[in-house]
Structure formats: C-alpha cells, structure tokens
Amino acid sequence: MTRQIVVAHDRFLEQTLTDPQFVQRIAAHVQHARLSAILPSTPGATVLELGCGPGKYVAILDRLGFDVTGVDPVTFPSWEILRRQTRARLLDGVRAEQLPFADGTFDHVVCLGTLLYVDDPGLALTEMARVIRPGGRLVVRTVNRTNLYSRRTGQVIDPASKNLYSLDELAAAVERHGFTVDERFSYGFLPPVFKNFWWYLVSVWLPLSVQDRLSDLLAPSRRWNNTVVATAGAGG
C-alpha cells in the first residue's frame, strides 16, 4: 500500500505541473485549504510554505502564479522535479522555530500540517508573524484534537504528534501571535477503525466528491483537520 501511496503522490505532482485546469480545481477545494480563494493573486506575490515536505503545495502555489519558497528540515527526492519545472526555491535544514529570513520577507505564509510536529509551536507562530508582511495572509492547517477517530479510540492519529488543537484553540493560538482570524473551517472524515487502510483509500482511490459527503456527515468538531486563515497585523 505504501508504494501505491507514493505513486499516487507522484501522479498528483505530475498532473499539478502539467494540467492548469486540474490546479484550479484542486486549489479551490477545502481539502487543499481553498488556497486559490484565500490568497490574493497579486502578480509576483511571495509565499513561504513552512514544512513543505515532498512539495505538492509548492507545485500548486507555483502554478497559481506565486513566487514560492518551500522549507523543511529534510530533503525529498521530488524536490529535483520541482527545481526543474517550477521557479520555487527549496531549502532543507530549516526548522519552524528559527527561520533564516529577514523580518517581513514574505507576502503570505502557508503552514499545512507542520504545526503538529514542531517542538515549540508558540515560537513557530512568532517566527511566522515575524517573516510575514503587515496585511499578509497566514493559512494554518493541522489535525483536529477532537476528531472522530481520537474521540472514539482515545488515540492520536499520528503517534509523532506533539501539538493538537481544536478549531477554537488553533484560532486562539494564531490570534495570540498578532494575527486577526478571518476564517476557520474543518474538513475530513477518518473512521475509528482501519486507520491505515483508510489513509490508503483517501490517498489512492477515494474521489473528492465521496470524501466531501463523508466529511459533511460529521459535526465540524469531529472532522479530521482544522484550518485557520488570518491576516498579519501592523506589528508583524
């Protein structure tokens, strides 16, 4: 199953890099934080993706017209493809708590999943506030502390998790660091059984339309992920 998930990711990346209609469709979807609707499409706007991993959101943001910098503590093989086919800059050895950028470097910051794993989430949010320009957009998505799977099993979805938030808790954490929360939403269904098989289905086979319907069956407080969209204040 792991091999099929890797193949599905590579196929997603290839389609993102070659199919503009695909990019517009997925970038507007709530599963992908509705990036095309949330981030102002000013020509040449700079975006930092914090904890970019293999880089699917680097590819999406690049194809939406942003000047993208992706950072992560480690390097991924797919970065070579991104370096050849996008304008993005990719930096390894970078941790969220100590960003190697000057104050106000970026128009926007995107953090999709990374907050779950950082050692000091408060310091990470302080750094995000520091490197974003006043009025810039911050998009933070992370696993929902009160998701259905965890509530029913008493277990976290990922054993490597260090920081978990409900939607209200995530919004409050963002606001404490100088941002004004503009929007918040939850998405995703994870059943309390067969977690690994479900992740395989979501990654490889299950259409977004089906995932949408399953997510809608749940109260927002029981969905898989929480997303908070905020604007940076004048103080950074």
* pLDDT confidence band for 90 (50 / 70 / 90): very high
For the stretch 92-113, pLDDT in tens is: 999 999 999 999 999 999 999 9
Structural contact between residues 57 and 49, judged by C-beta atoms closer than 8 angstroms: yes
Residue 75 sits in which domain range? Answer: 2-232
Q: DSSP secondary-structure letter at 141?
A: E
Residues 6+ apart with CB under 8 A from 34: 27, 28
Does position 235 have pLDDT exceeding 70, yes or no?
A: no
| Among 45, 72, 27, residue whose Cα is nearest residue 132 | 45
The count of domains in the chain is: 1
49 SS3 class: strand
CATH number, domain at 171? 3.40.50.150
For the stretch 56-84, pLDDT in tens is: 999 999 999 999 999 999 999 999 999 99
d(CA 189, CA 85): 33
pTM over 0.75: yes
